Structure 1
Amino acid sequence: MGVRLAPTDSGRGTTLWQVERWDADAVGWVRRKSGLVSPGGHVFRKLGVASYQTTEHLGNAILSAGWTRILNLLIGTGSTQAMDATHTRIGVGDGTTAVTTADTTLTGSTNKYFKTAAGVGTIGAGAGPPTTTLTISATFGTGVANFAWQKFGVDFGTTDGATEVAPLLNAAVSNQGTKASGQVWTATATLSWT
């Protein structure tokens, strides 16, 4: 006779944050080669230009306002906007204050900048146990977000800028260094739900 295990209740959401960086020399070469003034991370990769540094941070807090948005989308409440390439941004800030689920902004950030998503990836099953992932990517050009990147978040804004647009879905604290003028950095958030 075998052992029968009872099903367990579970539910978890987390984010793998990845930051790719290209210096001013790489940016100049890609601009000349592609003819683009503001090449995105996908252009660097397509031309075979590796980032000089890529870092990752696993973890975040799904904020209360983010959960409310998710649940409203599930039940089709009102005019709740879904995430798409024109209604999703990745934000970075220089704050180091610990994240709480009650946060509505990149708390503690003197400098912050939100960039519209270059693409909102495909939702699909991942490897292993039932997992669904969503990948969001935004490229921060040479003239924006030139400060210490220490806090990250995703919101539902439609234009680039320094102001959060409610709701802020998630947030994490992770020191990624300081972006300098002339550099291009791409931030990618892969949200996983299990």
Structure 2
Amino acid sequence: MENKNLQLATFGGGCFWCTEAIFRELKGVEKVVSGYSGGNAPGKPTYREVCSGLTGHAEVVQVTFDASVISLEEVLIIFMTTHDPTTLNRQGADVGTQYRSVIYYHNDHQKEVAETITKEVAKYFDNPIVTEITPLEIFYDAEDYHQDYYRNNTEQGYCNAVISPKLAKFRKLYTEKLR
């Protein structure tokens, strides 16, 4: 019988396809779900609505991880160093509030850790970090076709042009953390 210390982390760093692909490769990550959080429109948003920028939701991933294998600190450092936390409402060619850099904390401990990690990694960036740190109110799963998008669509243009190079950089940087 395994003793697991499962925890949830929810964050957005641009397109959820990229973020999901990275976290699926980490030791200790049990599950990654693409979804939406942080909006103000009523009801469960659709991808089309979120992409319009009118709902206020961000594309996010919710990561279930075993904290006895990978700590929250490690998860957040990897998150902060695999996207650009210094660009407001933008990651590469993806522009809009739905692509903002954000950490949605689930409790006070996660808030403290997020604030600490953000301060620690700030010295490695030329520009100020603009990542929001805010309480998670609700998480909506994205449509089924967004789940495990990279693995299911590796030949798609966006995957080849954007996600594959990002994964290569991630794999080189975090070799010891890979499954």
Q: TM-score range by the shorter chain?
A: under 0.3
Give the structure with the higher percent strand: 1
Give the structure with the higher percent helix: 2
Q: Which has the larger radius of gyration?
A: 1
TM normalised by structure 2 equals 0.26
TM normalised by structure 1 equals 0.24
